[in-house]
A and B are shown apart, each in its own frame.
Chain A
Amino acid sequence: EDQVTQSPEALRLQEGESSSLNCSYTVSGLRGLFWYRQDPGKGPEFLFTLYSAGEEKEKERLKATLTKKESFLHITAPKPEDSATYLCAVRSNSGNTPLVFGKGTRLSVIA
């Protein structure tokens, strides 16, 4: 069974204090690992897809990396507007499988 575990559940940072969010996964064969951002009361907004170990992607202050067992979302010099819940999900390559989500990391950035 595909599983995704995100840590920490919640993270509080001062503005400018860089950190990383972790997503550990087990999947029969990885078709893609996805990162989403979700603001309160809204649907998840797509950030990145990673397909293979060693791959990295960047967008503004965010950088996602992937190994064979986990992915990290690095946040460099965060700002208060980066406060949100960050969701990680995987899709396996076994048949018609949908995304399996982790429970998310709730990030608060304090000015």
Chain B
Amino acid sequence: DVKVTQSSRYLVKRTGEKVFLECVQDMDHENMFWYRQDPGLGLRLIYFSYDVKMKEKGDIPEGYSVSREKKERFSLILESASTNQTSMYLCASTWGFSGNTIYFGEGSWLTVV
């Protein structure tokens, strides 16, 4: 089975802190994604990556950055956390850009106080 692992399930951070959310997949997938999910807004794409060291902005990249130094790992970085970044963050991965299934991690609940 494909496994997408998000290292932190629940985090509480202070405004202004730098936050790292880590995601690892074990299926040699080329493509990895970071979404955030908020009530009433659904899933919104923050960034995605289709290869090591490559990244593309999604719909809401402001306030975020990403890092992909190794194929299996995709990190989401909040340079200076703000309260409006309190959300559930979901990492996903897939192979190729055809209609292949995209698999999700369990999510990371971030609260910024």
Contacts and interface: CB of A to CB of B under 8 A. Distances in A.
A98 B104 contact: no
Interface stretch (A13-21, A57-65, A70-78, A99-107): A99-107
Main secondary structure of the interface of A (DSSP, over half): loop
A46 B33 contact: no
Interface residues of B, number: 26
A31 B96 CA distance: 12
A3 to B, nearest CB: 12
Given A41-B109, A42-B107, 13 more contacts: A31-B97, A31-B98, A32-B98, A32-B99, A34-B101, A34-B102, A43-B90, A43-B106, A49-B99, A96-B50, A97-B97, A99-B102, A102-B42
19 contacts: A34-B102, A41-B107, A44-B43, A44-B104, A46-B101, A46-B103, A49-B99, A87-B42, A87-B43, A89-B102, A96-B56, A97-B97, A98-B45, A98-B48, A98-B58, A99-B45, A101-B43, A103-B41, A104-B42
Interface of A: 31-32, 34, 36, 41-46, 49, 51, 87, 89, 91, 95-99, 101-104
